[in-house]
Amino acid sequence: MEKNARLIAVERDTEGICLAALEMLTESLYVEERRRTLRAIEQSADPAAALKAGAGDRKFACGYYIWVAYLFSIEARIQAGIPMELTATDAEGLLALREARVRFDNEHPQCRCGRRMKNDLEKVQGMCTACKDAG
């Protein structure tokens, strides 16, 4: 009962869903960094401590990310043209995802090379650091 009540709360917290989705989209920018962290953890003498130090801190309860992952999956199916029956809650969640993408686009505009800009410096210079360094 407790568990269900919590799940329903997650589904209906559209602002929370939006922010958790934004967090996941942002995390996708740092795949390389994560891979490096993972390698460092594997090679560490004390993997548990290294894991603790290297773990990203997510803002929301785990249920949010599970729900957002579900929403991403139904969004992908819809985009692929697979017919789906959506509940009102699904539809609201998809709107929250769309809002998250709008915020993500504002925070991380695309560089001319296709990469997303990661920080304010890149936004100010109008291109990613790789393009800047390439001259």
Residues that bind Zn ion (CB under 5 A): 111, 113, 115, 128, 131
* Shortest distance in whole angstroms from residue 130 CB to Zn ion: 5
Nearer to Zn ion, 17 or 117 (CB): 117
Q: Which is nearer to Zn ion, 44 or 129 (CB)?
A: 129
Query: Which uninterrupted H or E stretch holds 29?
Result: none
Q: What is the DSSP string of 93-130?
A: HHHHHHHHHHHHHHHSPBPTTSPBP-SHHHHHHTS-HH
| Residue number, 81 or 114, with CB nearest to Zn ion | 114
CB of 120 to Zn ion, least distance (A): 16
How far apart are the C-alpha atoms of 18 and 130, rounded to whole Å? Answer: 30
Q: How far is it, in rounded angstroms, from Cα 129 to Cα 124?
A: 11
Q: 19 or 111, CB closer to Zn ion?
A: 111
Residue type, 120: D
